[in-house]
Protein backbone atom coordinates (compact mmCIF):
# COMPACT_ATOMS: atom_id res chain seq x y z
CA UNK A 1 0.00 0.00 0.00
CA UNK A 2 2.84 2.33 0.88
CA UNK A 3 4.57 1.60 -2.46
CA UNK A 4 1.35 2.32 -4.39
CA UNK A 5 0.85 5.60 -2.54
CA UNK A 6 4.43 6.64 -3.20
CA UNK A 7 4.12 5.85 -6.90
CA UNK A 8 0.89 7.85 -7.26
CA UNK A 9 2.47 10.77 -5.39
CA UNK A 10 5.51 10.68 -7.68
CA UNK A 11 3.36 10.60 -10.84
CA UNK A 12 1.29 13.50 -9.55
CA UNK A 13 4.43 15.45 -8.75
CA UNK A 14 5.84 14.83 -12.25
CA UNK A 15 2.54 15.92 -13.81
CA UNK A 16 2.51 19.12 -11.74
CA UNK A 17 6.12 19.90 -12.72
CA UNK A 18 5.39 19.28 -16.41
CA UNK A 19 2.28 21.40 -16.23
CA UNK A 20 4.19 24.22 -14.53
CA UNK A 21 6.93 24.04 -17.19
CA UNK A 22 4.29 24.13 -19.91
CA UNK A 23 2.62 27.19 -18.38
CA UNK A 24 5.99 28.91 -18.03
CA UNK A 25 6.94 28.05 -21.62
CA UNK A 26 3.62 29.37 -22.93
CA UNK A 27 3.98 32.57 -20.94
CA UNK A 28 7.55 33.13 -22.12
CA UNK A 29 6.62 32.37 -25.72
CA UNK A 30 3.76 34.88 -25.63
CA UNK A 31 6.07 37.47 -24.09
CA UNK A 32 8.60 36.84 -26.87
CA UNK A 33 5.90 37.31 -29.52
CA UNK A 34 4.90 40.62 -27.96
CA UNK A 35 8.51 41.86 -27.87
CA UNK A 36 9.04 40.84 -31.49
CA UNK A 37 5.96 42.82 -32.59
CA UNK A 38 7.59 45.87 -30.99
CA UNK A 39 10.93 45.14 -32.73
CA UNK A 40 12.56 44.47 -29.34
CA UNK A 41 14.51 41.55 -30.77
CA UNK A 42 17.00 41.11 -27.91
CA UNK A 43 14.19 40.71 -25.36
CA UNK A 44 12.23 38.51 -27.78
CA UNK A 45 15.21 36.16 -28.19
CA UNK A 46 15.82 36.02 -24.43
CA UNK A 47 12.21 34.98 -23.71
CA UNK A 48 12.08 32.55 -26.65
CA UNK A 49 15.29 30.79 -25.59
CA UNK A 50 13.97 30.58 -22.02
CA UNK A 51 10.75 29.02 -23.37
CA UNK A 52 12.81 26.53 -25.35
CA UNK A 53 14.82 25.58 -22.27
CA UNK A 54 11.57 24.96 -20.42
CA UNK A 55 10.29 22.78 -23.25
CA UNK A 56 13.06 21.81 -25.74
CA UNK A 57 10.69 20.10 -28.21
CA UNK A 58 8.52 23.04 -29.23
CA UNK A 59 9.05 23.47 -32.97
CA UNK A 60 6.92 26.63 -33.11
CA UNK A 61 9.33 28.35 -30.70
CA UNK A 62 12.26 27.33 -32.90
CA UNK A 63 10.49 28.77 -35.95
CA UNK A 64 9.85 31.98 -34.04
CA UNK A 65 13.53 32.27 -33.10
CA UNK A 66 14.45 31.69 -36.75
CA UNK A 67 12.09 34.49 -37.77
CA UNK A 68 13.68 36.89 -35.29
CA UNK A 69 17.13 36.17 -36.72
CA UNK A 70 15.78 36.46 -40.26
CA UNK A 71 14.26 39.88 -39.59
CA UNK A 72 17.74 40.96 -38.53
CA UNK A 73 19.34 39.42 -41.67
CA UNK A 74 21.23 36.87 -39.52
CA UNK A 75 20.48 34.05 -41.91
CA UNK A 76 23.01 31.49 -40.64
CA UNK A 77 21.40 31.53 -37.19
CA UNK A 78 17.93 31.52 -38.76
CA UNK A 79 18.82 28.48 -40.85
CA UNK A 80 20.08 26.60 -37.80
CA UNK A 81 16.77 26.97 -35.94
CA UNK A 82 14.69 26.22 -39.04
CA UNK A 83 16.51 22.93 -39.56
CA UNK A 84 16.24 22.14 -35.87
CA UNK A 85 12.48 22.75 -36.04
CA UNK A 86 12.25 20.54 -39.13
CA UNK A 87 14.08 17.72 -37.36
CA UNK A 88 11.74 18.09 -34.35
CA UNK A 89 8.39 18.25 -36.15
CA UNK A 90 8.45 18.11 -39.98
CA UNK A 91 4.63 18.22 -40.06
CA UNK A 92 4.53 21.74 -38.60
CA UNK A 93 3.49 23.78 -41.63
CA UNK A 94 4.78 27.08 -40.21
CA UNK A 95 8.30 25.75 -40.74
CA UNK A 96 7.99 25.91 -44.50
CA UNK A 97 6.61 29.45 -44.67
CA UNK A 98 9.59 30.69 -42.67
CA UNK A 99 12.12 28.41 -44.37
CA UNK A 100 11.19 29.62 -47.85
CA UNK A 101 11.19 33.24 -46.70
CA UNK A 102 14.71 32.88 -45.24
CA UNK A 103 16.02 31.43 -48.49
CA UNK A 104 14.41 34.25 -50.45
CA UNK A 105 15.66 37.01 -48.13
CA UNK A 106 19.20 35.59 -48.12
CA UNK A 107 19.02 35.22 -51.93
CA UNK A 108 19.77 31.49 -51.65
CA UNK A 109 17.67 30.95 -54.77
CA UNK A 110 19.24 27.62 -55.74
CA UNK A 111 18.00 26.01 -52.49
CA UNK A 112 14.36 27.02 -52.93
CA UNK A 113 13.21 24.23 -55.35
CA UNK A 114 14.52 21.45 -53.06
CA UNK A 115 12.87 23.08 -50.03
CA UNK A 116 9.58 23.39 -51.91
CA UNK A 117 9.77 19.65 -52.65
CA UNK A 118 10.44 18.87 -48.97
CA UNK A 119 7.48 21.04 -47.94
CA UNK A 120 5.09 19.35 -50.36
CA UNK A 121 6.28 15.87 -49.35
CA UNK A 122 5.33 16.75 -45.76
CA UNK A 123 1.83 17.93 -46.64
CA UNK A 124 2.39 21.66 -47.18
CA UNK A 125 -0.60 22.74 -49.27
CA UNK A 126 -0.10 26.48 -49.91
CA UNK A 127 0.18 26.17 -53.69
CA UNK A 128 0.32 29.93 -54.25
CA UNK A 129 3.34 30.33 -51.99
CA UNK A 130 5.11 27.36 -53.58
CA UNK A 131 4.50 28.74 -57.08
CA UNK A 132 5.65 32.25 -56.12
CA UNK A 133 8.84 31.01 -54.47
CA UNK A 134 9.64 28.71 -57.40
CA UNK A 135 9.23 31.54 -59.89
CA UNK A 136 11.35 33.85 -57.73
CA UNK A 137 14.01 31.13 -57.62
CA UNK A 138 14.00 30.77 -61.41
CA UNK A 139 14.23 34.54 -61.77
CA UNK A 140 17.00 34.83 -59.17
CA UNK A 141 19.10 32.14 -60.86
CA UNK A 142 18.46 33.62 -64.32
CA UNK A 143 16.77 30.38 -65.48
CA UNK A 144 14.07 32.38 -67.19
CA UNK A 145 13.00 29.85 -69.82
CA UNK A 146 12.63 27.15 -67.15
CA UNK A 147 10.57 29.57 -65.06
CA UNK A 148 8.28 30.32 -68.00
CA UNK A 149 7.80 26.60 -68.68
CA UNK A 150 7.02 26.02 -64.97
CA UNK A 151 4.45 28.83 -64.92
CA UNK A 152 2.70 27.58 -68.05
CA UNK A 153 2.15 24.18 -66.39
CA UNK A 154 0.41 25.69 -63.35
CA UNK A 155 -3.31 25.34 -62.80
CA UNK A 156 -5.23 28.24 -64.41
CA UNK A 157 -6.38 29.61 -61.05
CA UNK A 158 -2.75 29.80 -59.87
CA UNK A 159 -1.56 31.50 -63.06
CA UNK A 160 -4.37 34.05 -62.61
CA UNK A 161 -2.92 35.05 -59.23
CA UNK A 162 -1.73 38.68 -59.72
CA UNK A 163 1.72 38.10 -58.18
CA UNK A 164 2.33 34.87 -60.10
CA UNK A 165 1.13 36.37 -63.37
CA UNK A 166 3.34 39.42 -62.83
CA UNK A 167 6.41 37.21 -62.27
CA UNK A 168 5.55 35.17 -65.36
CA UNK A 169 5.18 38.28 -67.51
CA UNK A 170 8.39 39.76 -66.10
CA UNK A 171 10.42 36.66 -66.97
CA UNK A 172 8.81 36.50 -70.40
CA UNK A 173 9.82 40.09 -71.12
CA UNK A 174 13.36 39.46 -69.85
CA UNK A 175 13.84 36.66 -72.37
CA UNK A 176 13.54 39.37 -74.98
CA UNK A 177 17.19 40.30 -74.78
CA UNK A 178 17.07 43.42 -76.96
CA UNK A 179 15.59 46.81 -76.12
CA UNK A 180 15.00 49.99 -78.08
CA UNK A 181 14.29 53.27 -76.26
CA UNK A 182 13.40 56.77 -77.46
CA UNK A 183 13.40 59.84 -75.21
CA UNK A 184 12.44 63.49 -75.58
CA UNK A 185 12.62 66.19 -72.91
CA UNK A 186 12.11 69.94 -72.90
CA UNK A 187 12.83 72.56 -70.23
CA UNK A 188 10.62 75.65 -70.40
CA UNK A 189 12.06 78.66 -68.56
CA UNK A 190 10.16 81.46 -66.87
CA UNK A 191 11.94 84.19 -68.84
CA UNK A 192 11.08 84.90 -72.51
CA UNK A 193 14.74 85.82 -73.01
CA UNK A 194 15.83 82.23 -72.37
CA UNK A 195 15.14 79.75 -75.15
CA UNK A 196 13.79 76.29 -74.36
CA UNK A 197 16.27 73.49 -73.78
CA UNK A 198 15.73 70.27 -75.76
CA UNK A 199 17.23 66.85 -75.25
CA UNK A 200 16.47 63.67 -77.18
CA UNK A 201 18.17 60.32 -77.32
CA UNK A 202 17.82 56.90 -78.90
CA UNK A 203 19.33 53.84 -77.29
CA UNK A 204 19.69 50.22 -78.24
CA UNK A 205 20.62 47.57 -75.69
CA UNK A 206 21.03 43.82 -75.55
CA UNK A 207 21.96 41.10 -73.05
CA UNK A 208 24.60 38.39 -73.32
CA UNK A 209 24.37 36.00 -70.38
CA UNK A 210 25.13 38.16 -67.31
CA UNK A 211 26.21 41.18 -69.35
CA UNK A 212 24.20 44.07 -70.77
CA UNK A 213 25.46 46.61 -73.28
CA UNK A 214 23.59 49.79 -74.21
CA UNK A 215 24.53 52.17 -77.02
CA UNK A 216 23.05 55.64 -76.87
CA UNK A 217 23.05 58.66 -79.19
CA UNK A 218 22.14 61.96 -77.50
CA UNK A 219 21.18 65.14 -79.34
CA UNK A 220 20.69 68.49 -77.62
CA UNK A 221 19.48 71.84 -78.86
CA UNK A 222 19.62 75.04 -76.82
CA UNK A 223 19.73 78.06 -79.09
CA UNK A 224 22.06 79.07 -80.49
CA UNK A 225 23.96 75.81 -79.83
CA UNK A 226 23.39 72.15 -80.54
CA UNK A 227 25.48 69.08 -79.84
CA UNK A 228 25.69 65.34 -80.41
CA UNK A 229 27.04 62.79 -77.95
CA UNK A 230 27.76 59.08 -78.40
CA UNK A 231 27.56 57.02 -75.23
CA UNK A 232 27.77 53.41 -74.06
CA UNK A 233 26.67 51.70 -70.82
CA UNK A 234 27.88 48.30 -69.65
CA UNK A 235 26.39 46.18 -66.85
CA UNK A 236 27.73 42.92 -65.42
CA UNK A 237 25.65 40.90 -62.95
CA UNK A 238 27.51 38.88 -60.31
CA UNK A 239 26.06 36.21 -58.05
CA UNK A 240 24.21 37.26 -54.91
CA UNK A 241 22.48 40.26 -56.48
CA UNK A 242 25.67 42.31 -57.01
CA UNK A 243 26.32 44.14 -60.28
CA UNK A 244 28.74 46.59 -61.88
CA UNK A 245 27.91 49.64 -64.03
CA UNK A 246 30.39 51.30 -66.42
CA UNK A 247 29.81 54.27 -68.74
CA UNK A 248 31.68 56.29 -71.35
CA UNK A 249 30.51 59.15 -73.58
CA UNK A 250 32.13 61.42 -76.17
CA UNK A 251 30.77 64.75 -77.44
CA UNK A 252 31.29 65.60 -81.10
CA UNK A 253 30.92 69.40 -80.87
CA UNK A 254 31.59 69.87 -77.14
CA UNK A 255 29.12 72.74 -76.95
CA UNK A 256 26.36 71.32 -74.76
CA UNK A 257 27.98 68.11 -73.52
CA UNK A 258 31.39 67.62 -71.88
CA UNK A 259 34.10 66.45 -74.26
CA UNK A 260 34.38 63.18 -72.35
CA UNK A 261 32.28 61.58 -69.64
CA UNK A 262 32.85 58.35 -67.77
CA UNK A 263 31.34 56.57 -64.82
CA UNK A 264 31.67 53.45 -62.71
CA UNK A 265 29.50 52.15 -59.86
CA UNK A 266 29.24 48.90 -57.93
CA UNK A 267 25.88 47.83 -56.46
CA UNK A 268 25.49 45.21 -53.75
CA UNK A 269 22.73 44.08 -51.36
CA UNK A 270 23.23 44.26 -47.61
CA UNK A 271 19.99 42.60 -46.49
CA UNK A 272 16.93 41.15 -48.20
CA UNK A 273 15.44 44.61 -48.83
CA UNK A 274 18.44 46.95 -48.73
CA UNK A 275 20.86 47.74 -51.57
CA UNK A 276 23.77 50.17 -51.53
CA UNK A 277 26.28 51.33 -54.13
CA UNK A 278 29.46 53.35 -54.44
CA UNK A 279 30.86 54.91 -57.58
CA UNK A 280 32.09 57.97 -59.38
CA UNK A 281 31.65 60.11 -62.49
CA UNK A 282 34.10 62.06 -64.60
CA UNK A 283 33.06 65.04 -66.76
CA UNK A 284 35.84 66.30 -69.02
CA UNK A 285 34.96 69.94 -69.63
CA UNK A 286 37.16 72.24 -71.70
CA UNK A 287 37.89 74.63 -68.83
CA UNK A 288 38.59 72.01 -66.16
CA UNK A 289 37.63 68.40 -65.39
CA UNK A 290 35.09 67.58 -62.71
CA UNK A 291 35.09 64.47 -60.55
CA UNK A 292 31.92 63.34 -58.82
CA UNK A 293 31.79 60.81 -56.00
CA UNK A 294 28.36 59.25 -55.65
CA UNK A 295 26.53 56.28 -54.23
CA UNK A 296 23.07 55.14 -53.30
CA UNK A 297 21.23 53.53 -50.41
CA UNK A 298 17.87 52.05 -51.39
CA UNK A 299 15.35 50.03 -49.41
CA UNK A 300 12.22 48.14 -50.46
CA UNK A 301 9.20 48.27 -48.16
CA UNK A 302 6.25 46.34 -49.52
CA UNK A 303 5.38 47.82 -52.92
CA UNK A 304 7.52 50.91 -52.27
CA UNK A 305 11.18 51.65 -52.94
CA UNK A 306 13.00 54.59 -51.34
CA UNK A 307 16.53 55.67 -52.23
CA UNK A 308 18.92 58.45 -51.30
CA UNK A 309 21.75 59.38 -53.65
CA UNK A 310 24.32 62.03 -52.66
CA UNK A 311 26.78 63.66 -55.07
CA UNK A 312 30.09 65.13 -53.97
CA UNK A 313 31.52 67.31 -56.72
CA UNK A 314 35.25 68.01 -56.66
CA UNK A 315 36.85 70.53 -59.02
CA UNK A 316 39.70 72.95 -59.33
CA UNK A 317 37.54 75.92 -58.33
CA UNK A 318 35.78 74.39 -55.38
CA UNK A 319 33.64 71.50 -54.16
CA UNK A 320 29.93 71.02 -53.59
CA UNK A 321 27.47 68.47 -52.26
CA UNK A 322 24.00 67.76 -53.60
CA UNK A 323 21.51 64.95 -53.29
CA UNK A 324 18.42 63.36 -54.77
CA UNK A 325 15.67 61.50 -52.89
CA UNK A 326 13.61 59.00 -54.88
CA UNK A 327 10.33 57.35 -53.97
CA UNK A 328 8.93 54.65 -56.26
CA UNK A 329 5.61 52.85 -55.84
CA UNK A 330 4.92 49.69 -57.88
CA UNK A 331 1.32 49.34 -58.94
CA UNK A 332 1.17 45.54 -59.29
CA UNK A 333 2.90 44.80 -62.60
CA UNK A 334 6.71 44.55 -62.78
CA UNK A 335 8.17 47.79 -64.14
CA UNK A 336 4.81 49.60 -63.70
CA UNK A 337 5.27 52.33 -61.13
CA UNK A 338 4.86 55.92 -59.99
CA UNK A 339 8.09 57.73 -59.13
CA UNK A 340 8.91 61.02 -57.42
CA UNK A 341 12.39 62.58 -57.51
CA UNK A 342 13.25 65.46 -55.19
CA UNK A 343 16.70 66.92 -55.75
CA UNK A 344 18.80 69.68 -54.27
CA UNK A 345 21.83 70.93 -56.20
CA UNK A 346 22.59 70.60 -59.89
CA UNK A 347 24.79 67.52 -59.74
CA UNK A 348 21.90 65.02 -60.04
CA UNK A 349 21.47 66.38 -63.58
CA UNK A 350 24.85 64.91 -64.62
CA UNK A 351 22.92 62.24 -66.53
CA UNK A 352 21.26 64.88 -68.73
CA UNK A 353 23.64 67.80 -68.14
CA UNK A 354 23.62 70.43 -70.90
CA UNK A 355 26.34 73.06 -70.93
CA UNK A 356 30.12 73.16 -71.02
CA UNK A 357 30.64 75.35 -67.96
CA UNK A 358 31.69 73.07 -65.13
CA UNK A 359 30.93 75.74 -62.53
CA UNK A 360 27.21 75.21 -63.09
CA UNK A 361 27.57 71.93 -61.20
CA UNK A 362 28.51 73.94 -58.11
CA UNK A 363 25.49 76.24 -58.30
CA UNK A 364 22.49 75.69 -56.02
CA UNK A 365 19.14 74.49 -57.25
CA UNK A 366 16.21 72.23 -56.51
CA UNK A 367 13.62 70.29 -58.47
CA UNK A 368 10.74 67.87 -58.08
CA UNK A 369 9.66 65.48 -60.80
CA UNK A 370 6.77 63.02 -61.08
CA UNK A 371 6.98 59.99 -63.42
CA UNK A 372 4.55 57.26 -64.37
CA UNK A 373 5.84 54.11 -66.08
CA UNK A 374 3.03 52.43 -68.02
CA UNK A 375 3.19 48.86 -69.34
CA UNK A 376 1.52 48.29 -72.71
CA UNK A 377 1.14 44.57 -73.38
CA UNK A 378 4.15 42.55 -72.28
CA UNK A 379 6.92 44.22 -74.22
CA UNK A 380 6.16 47.94 -74.47
CA UNK A 381 6.52 50.75 -71.94
CA UNK A 382 5.85 54.47 -72.02
CA UNK A 383 6.97 56.86 -69.30
CA UNK A 384 5.70 60.45 -69.23
CA UNK A 385 6.98 62.85 -66.57
CA UNK A 386 6.50 66.41 -65.44
CA UNK A 387 8.59 68.48 -63.07
CA UNK A 388 9.38 71.90 -61.71
CA UNK A 389 12.77 73.28 -60.81
CA UNK A 390 14.64 76.40 -59.81
CA UNK A 391 18.35 76.76 -60.57
CA UNK A 392 21.04 79.27 -59.79
CA UNK A 393 22.67 80.85 -62.86
CA UNK A 394 25.04 83.23 -61.12
CA UNK A 395 25.54 83.62 -57.39
CA UNK A 396 22.22 84.67 -55.84
CA UNK A 397 20.29 84.77 -59.15
CA UNK A 398 17.76 82.03 -59.94
CA UNK A 399 15.53 81.01 -62.82
CA UNK A 400 12.56 78.63 -62.76
CA UNK A 401 11.71 75.95 -65.26
CA UNK A 402 9.03 73.40 -66.10
CA UNK A 403 10.36 70.02 -67.23
CA UNK A 404 8.35 67.79 -69.59
CA UNK A 405 9.65 64.38 -70.66
CA UNK A 406 8.43 61.24 -72.38
CA UNK A 407 10.20 57.94 -73.02
CA UNK A 408 9.18 54.85 -74.97
CA UNK A 409 10.75 51.38 -74.61
CA UNK A 410 10.23 48.23 -76.60
CA UNK A 411 11.71 44.80 -75.89
CA UNK A 412 12.19 42.23 -78.62
Q: Give percent above pLDDT 90 in the chain.
A: 52
Check: CB of residue 109 under 8 Å from CB of residue 137: yes
Cα gap 164→98, rounded to integer Å:
19
Cα–Cα dist 343/326, whole Å: 9
| Residue 21 pLDDT | 47
Least reliable range by pLDDT among 24-28, 197-201, 267-271, 384-388: 24-28
Taking the domain 2-174, which CATH number applies?
A: 1.25.40.10
Q: What is the pLDDT of residue 235?
A: 95
Domain 178-411: top CATH class: mainly beta
132-188 pLDDT, tens digit each: 999 999 999 989 889 999 998 988 888 888 888 888 888 887 887 899 999 999 999
Planar angle of CA 117, 96, 92, nearest 5 degrees? 110
* Residue closest to 171 by CA, chosen among 130, 143, 196: 143
Hey, do 2-174 and 178-411 end up sharing a CATH topology, with the first three levels equal? Answer: no
pLDDT per residue as tens digits for the range 1-21: 555 655 555 554 444 444 444
**Burial profile 389-401: b = 16 or more Cβ within 10 angstroms, e = fewer:** bebbeeeeeeeeb
Q: How far apart are CA 275 and CA 68, in angstroms?
A: 21
pLDDT of residue 337: 94
Per-residue model confidence as pLDDT tens digits over 41-96: 999 999 888 888 888 889 999 999 999 999 998 999 999 999 999 999 999 999 99
- Give the pLDDT confidence score for residue 210 in this predicted structure: 84
Q: Where are the domains of the chain?
A: 2-174, 178-411
Whether 351 shows a pLDDT value over 70: the answer reads no
Q: Give 361's pLDDT tier (boundaries 50, 70, 90).
A: low
Query: Does the pLDDT at position 354 exceed 80?
Result: no
Q: How much is the mean pLDDT over the chain? A: 86
Amino acid sequence: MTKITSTITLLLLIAVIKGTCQVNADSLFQSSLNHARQNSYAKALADANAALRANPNRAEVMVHIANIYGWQAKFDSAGYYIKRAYATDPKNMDIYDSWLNMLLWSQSFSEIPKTCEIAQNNGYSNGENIAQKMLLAFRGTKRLHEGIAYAEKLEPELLDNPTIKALYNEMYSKTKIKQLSLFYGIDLFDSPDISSKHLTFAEYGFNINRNSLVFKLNYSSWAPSNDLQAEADFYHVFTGGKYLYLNYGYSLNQKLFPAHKAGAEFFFPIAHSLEVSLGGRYLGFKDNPVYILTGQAGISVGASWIALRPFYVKGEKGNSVSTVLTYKYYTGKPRAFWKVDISYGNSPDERYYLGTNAETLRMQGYSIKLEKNIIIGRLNEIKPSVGFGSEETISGSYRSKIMLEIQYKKRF
